[in-house]
Amino acid sequence: MFLGTFNDLITSEEANLTAQEFFRNKLRAVVKDPLTAEQLMPDFNLGCKRLIVGTDYYETYNRENVSLVSIKDSGIDEIASGGIVVGAEQYDCDVIVLATGFDAITGPIMAIDITGRNGKAIRDKWKDGPSCYLGLMPEGFPNLFTITGPGSPSILSNVIKSIEQHVDFIADCIARVRENGDEVVEATAEAEAAWVSHVDEIATETVFKSCNSWYLGSNIPGKPRVFTGYVGWPEYAAELDDIVKDNYRGFRIGKAGA
């Protein structure tokens, strides 16, 4: 929503810097302690990570019983019986909530033992980074559809709307396959490669690749740094409509074993 207010925040460094300063000034006006306010300041281009926003979120740091302790430099020394020790100082607490991030987009798929043609596992196909035609189907895995998969708008869209659009596309595609007496639908290698290149080309023109984030898988040690979203809605939906009109361009449809 914040990025949609102005149409050049993700493509213009100058516009983004202006928005950053606006946000920082607003934050300084809310958080009373200057040091705490500085710790909360975004140190990245707005958009390449999500800003923390919410009703009274920043106001919470003005409460006497709330402290912001950064572990970027020193880390946590230990979890003691009475609290958390950071920099040799213990912070007493009754409850600890662990927010450790998640392996977005590809993690849940790679956690399943999915095997495609010639016995190739999806985790082996994606070991150097995900490749997927339209975010809907990885080449070499016939009849495997990935709803809001890597290379689809998913994380950069109203994801419920994206899911609905994908489900409709998949249902129509399956109906088309059955009506013609076919049994298999799969993405071609050429279509997948072209789409992956297209997704990266568009992302490179934006701020989305300018920092480390779960958009790129950078929060997972050892995970290849690949941008997993498609920048462009409703352009994406229009492209899928054109693909259907073009007899499912980029997909190979036929009999099993063909």
Q: Where are the domains of the chain?
A: 13-92, 107-254
The residue among 256 and 250 whose pLDDT is bigger is 250
CA 195 from centre of chain: 17
Q: What is the pLDDT of residue 4?
A: 63
pTM of the model: 0.85
pLDDT tier at 3, thresholds 50, 70, 90:
low
pLDDT tier at 181, thresholds 50, 70, 90:
very high
251 burial (CB, 10 Å; 0-12 / 13-18 / 19+) is buried
Q: Are 176 and 248 in contact (CB under 8 A)?
A: yes
pLDDT tier at 129, thresholds 50, 70, 90:
very high
- 107-254 to CATH, choices 3.50.50.60, 2.40.100.10, 1.10.10.60, 3.40.50.300: 3.50.50.60
Mean pLDDT over the full length of the chain: 91
